[in-house]
Amino acid sequence: MRPLPCFVVSLVCFATVCGAAHATPALANVYARTSTSLNGTWHYIVDPYENGYYDYRHQPFDAAAKPTAGYFLDRQPVDRTVLQEYDFATSPTLSVPGDWNSQDPRLLYYEGSIWYERHFDAPRHAADHRLFVYFGAANYRADVYVNGHKLGTHLGGFTPFWYEVTSLVRDHDNSLVVKVDNKRHVEAVPTLNTDWWNYGGITRDVLLVETPATYIADFRVQLQKGHADRVGVTVALDGARPAQTVQIAIDDAAPALELHTGPDGRASGEFSAANLALWSPDHPVLHRVTLAAETDRTTDRIGFRTVEVRGADILVNGRPVFLRGISIHEEVPMRGGRAYSKEDARLLLGWAKELNCNFARLAHYPHNEFMARVADELGILLWEEVPVYWTIQWENPDTLRNAQAQLSDLIARDGNRASVIVWSVANETPVGDARTRFLRTLVDTARAADNTRLVSAAMEVRPDPADADHKIVDDPFGQYTDLLSFNEYIGWYDGLPDKIDRIHWTIKYDKPVVISEFGAGALQGWHADPLTRFSEEYQADVYRRTLTMLAKIPQWRGCTPWILCDFRSPRRLLANVQDGWNRKGLIGENGTRKEAFFTLQKFYGEKARQAHSSSEAAK
């Protein structure tokens, strides 16, 4: 990739490279703001040679002081003598949000640049109001232009970004052009190699957001670490009047706290809330939290709960929990494409509920914001993750900054969600000093941004060369995480299912063990004996044996088997069985449950009943 010309110093803004003269202010709780949806049909031009971006000397058109060419200028040919070799108005359309791969069979495998274009009106409710264009996500690199001006470049396919356009738009007929490029790069996060589809495009909502001239840009309202009855608040205003009084109220009660922001717009404080009904998977109570500044107000629905680790136990609101989890990709199998809406979140997490889950691992990258909001409503605890996957460039400082930015942006977006209890910094990374340094920096980043949640990573298991049935968990990175999580595929990549019964473990750390993956492939509807690969019987057998085997680990406190649904993967090429799909789902490509779904459902149902009776006995 062309080296990007500059990096904004702030971590949170790393991913916004170039364009805006100042760091873009935060835009928290965006769905509660006055906004106009810019979803819908957008014109597009597939541009594999980036002809609309580079001139014939391979210089970017948008680097010129006064660009005269480039698709972002969104020119309309004015008369028949004009030579213009692109025209958005006559180009086909794609739906936004939505990956391009699942919208046109010719784009299924496309990895490159596509230009998106639409026009929009931008009326505002008051002359001094501010306007932002907000993107829930675009994979992987987005170059954004309004009325021919470059707003910026964003890297990272799964986190939101936005630009202020207050002084760049008129009331009617503005041009918005986005070049989205999903080429993979060795130094990127994720890197070249993943076991999921590289869906490209504007994959999440696009909004035109309106705020007052000085607005509540960011806030966090959460229980203080270790206190079930003290709420900590931080708030940040942005605009010409940063010093204001901000009142914080819960439900219909009188304001519980009044803060005075300083010249930097920031303030923090805390208040005691002894009678606050706490959020838990069994009682997912959400409170209406209102922040009222002098020039702005915003309301969010927030749950309050504590989470901590004590020895090998995970405590939620002081009570031990067993995490009955499942891993989920952000994909709707029946569509064979990215999930992006509240309805999609209800479908995926509804299936998790049906499995008797109280926990889900949102693998392997930040999912859309609706997942955490719906999990808040349904009472599902979450593990959220960044795409530090397999091998990335551990020694490359830009790669580290990129990963830190994605983690910080995720925490900034979901820091008020009670459902989220784990920030995961990596998946199956190779043990080594540079790797451990890199991941420790991410742990520090997560803890500095949020000291109330647990930090983890999906690690690996080591074989014992002297004993094929002995598994060792001693990754040095394990000393820095709150949970000890690892993936294991005994019975699938590692022996046959009967090996599972013989396994014994050496686990170096006295921490809660949460198995982040196990599983086996099965083609839905294919029935055979339990030793036939890809039969439903094989998969169900692996589940039955694994659950029995895990129960022998004294510090076992949960698992997120791999995975809820079959998902597309370019690494899964076995004809008539995989056909480009990873078949380890408990639910097939057509939405039908496999036998192992019911195996896990039964196991979790029993665990839930046990948990219920022991909590009744403790009352």
Angstrom distance (rounded) from CA 462 to CA 382: 27
Q: What does DSSP assign to residue 484? A: B
Closest distance of CB 517 from ligand GCB, Å: 5
Decide if 274 contacts 517 (C-beta within 8 A): no
CA end-to-end span of the chain, whole Å? 60
List the one residue out of 251, 218, 244, 217 whose CA is nearest residue 233: 218
Closest distance of CB 108 from ligand GCB, Å: 19
In this structure, the strands spanning 556-559 and 323-324 are parallel
Toward ligand GCB, which CB reaches closer, 230 or 533? Answer: 533
Angstrom distance (rounded) from CA 167 to CA 165: 6
Toward ligand GCB, which CB reaches closer, 77 or 570? Answer: 570
Angstrom distance (rounded) from CA 155 to CA 72: 18
Closest distance of CB 331 from ligand GCB, Å: 12
Closest distance of CB 107 from ligand GCB, Å: 23
Residue of minimal Cβ distance to ligand GCB:
195
Toward ligand GCB, which CB reaches closer, 253 or 573? Answer: 573
Closest distance of CB 386 from ligand GCB, Å: 14
Toward ligand GCB, which CB reaches closer, 210 or 488? Answer: 488
List the one residue out of 444, 371, 396, 455 whose CA is nearest residue 421: 455
Toward ligand GCB, which CB reaches closer, 368 or 427? Answer: 427
Toward ligand GCB, which CB reaches closer, 13 or 422? Answer: 422
Closest distance of CB 390 from ligand GCB, Å: 8
Toward ligand GCB, which CB reaches closer, 141 or 572? Answer: 572
> For residues 217-252, b (16+ Cβ closer than 10 Å) or e, as one string?
bbbbbbbbeeeeeebbbbbbbbbeebebebbbbbee
Q: Which two tokens stand for residue 180?
A: 């989205």
Angstrom distance (rounded) from CA 427 to CA 514: 14
Closest distance of CB 195 from ligand GCB, Å: 4
Closest distance of CB 565 from ligand GCB, Å: 12
Decide if 518 contacts 542 (C-beta within 8 A): yes
Residues in touch with ligand GCB (CB under 6 A): 195, 364, 427-428, 487, 517, 562, 582, 584
Contacts of 227 (CB under 8 A, 6+ apart): 306
Angstrom distance (rounded) from CA 115 to CA 72: 8
Toward ligand GCB, which CB reaches closer, 103 or 391? Answer: 391
